[in-house]
Amino acid sequence: MKKGTLKQILLITDGCSNSGEDPVAMAALAKEQGITVNVIGVMLNDSVGDQGKQEIEEIAMSGNGISQIVYAKQLSQTVQMVTRKAMTQTLQGVVNSELKQILGSRSTIEDLPPEKRGEVMEVVDELGETVDLEVLILVDISGSMKDKIPTVKEALFDLSISLNSRIGQNRFSIFGFPGRRDEVDKILDWTPKLDSISSVFPKLTSGGITPTGPAIREAIQHFSRKKPRNLRSWISRDDEYIEEAGL
């Protein structure tokens, strides 16, 4: 198996988008470009509401990622769990694709004999520690997140420490939405220096609307450095698109 780079968008929010493009459609576009979209919904003392919960789940499903809704005090542990679980899920998908090419269209890891299945999962676990990883963190800094921002800062710092133990190379970038003047602000450009995350904490201040769709679009552009294909033309295609897992 050729080793490449896993690409993830980690969206941290507490509610519904209310400005710009449909975030579910943007997550599908990210998936098409080999980027997994994971979403963590953050609660303080209440829930995110039925509409917010549905949007969080649909964004993650559309982006081939994982969604979790947690209380703020559980955020740090959840951020680490979701990031690593999504890595394993992506790698398993790649392995299943290769098995189908070798053994037939109906073959997956679960279809293997227990001994062989264990060997394959060992390979997946090893790749999870050695594959290169790019994580673009999208932080909802709208007004309703004001009391949760300190917990977000702590969670991102803990994530950096956790991933620092991996053998593979890590690259991080952080965007906040809404921005001070635009819909999205780049807070931290790509960097392998995990300790640099702490330097951006003072820049995370809350306020404004919640343009989740535009934030995901901006994240896609930041990964590719290219303008994404027109969404309308992508939706109108009749043929199935090919997923690129970045491997």
The stretch 31-49 carries a mean pLDDT of: 82
Q: In the chain, how many domains are there? A: 1
Give me the phi and psi of 110, to 5 degrees please: -65, -20
What per-residue confidence (pLDDT) applies to 219? 94
Please indicate, yes or no, if residue 214 is contained in any of the structural domains. yes
- Average pLDDT over all residues of the chain: 77
Instruction: Please check the confidence at residue 222 and state whether its pLDDT lies above 90.
Output: yes
Please indicate, yes or no, if residue 175 is contained in any of the structural domains. yes
Q: Which band of pLDDT confidence, cut at 50, 70 and 90, is reported for residue 96?
A: low
Cα–Cα nearest to 86, from 128, 42, 140: 128
CB neighbour list of residue 225: distance below 8 Å, 6 or more residues apart? none
* Residues 99 and 109 sit within 8 Å (Cβ to Cβ): yes
What per-residue confidence (pLDDT) applies to 242? 31
Please indicate, yes or no, if residue 159 is contained in any of the structural domains. yes
Domain harbouring 11, CATH code: 3.40.50.410
Q: Which band of pLDDT confidence, cut at 50, 70 and 90, is reported for residue 63?
A: very high
* pLDDT greater at residue 162 or residue 64: 64
Please indicate, yes or no, if residue 243 is contained in any of the structural domains. no
Please indicate, yes or no, if residue 140 is contained in any of the structural domains. yes
Instruction: Please check the confidence at residue 230 and state whether its pLDDT lies above 90.
Output: no
Please indicate, yes or no, if residue 68 is contained in any of the structural domains. yes
Domain of residue 209 covers 5-227
Percent of the chain residues topping a pLDDT of 90: 18
Please indicate, yes or no, if residue 60 is contained in any of the structural domains. yes
Q: What is the DSSP string of 161-228?
A: HHHTT-SS-EEEEEEEES-SSSS-EEEEEEES-GGGGGGGGGG----S---HHHHHHHHHHHHHSSPP
Please indicate, yes or no, if residue 177 is contained in any of the structural domains. yes
Cα–Cα nearest to 127, from 171, 172, 77, 89: 89
- pTM of the entire predicted model: 0.77
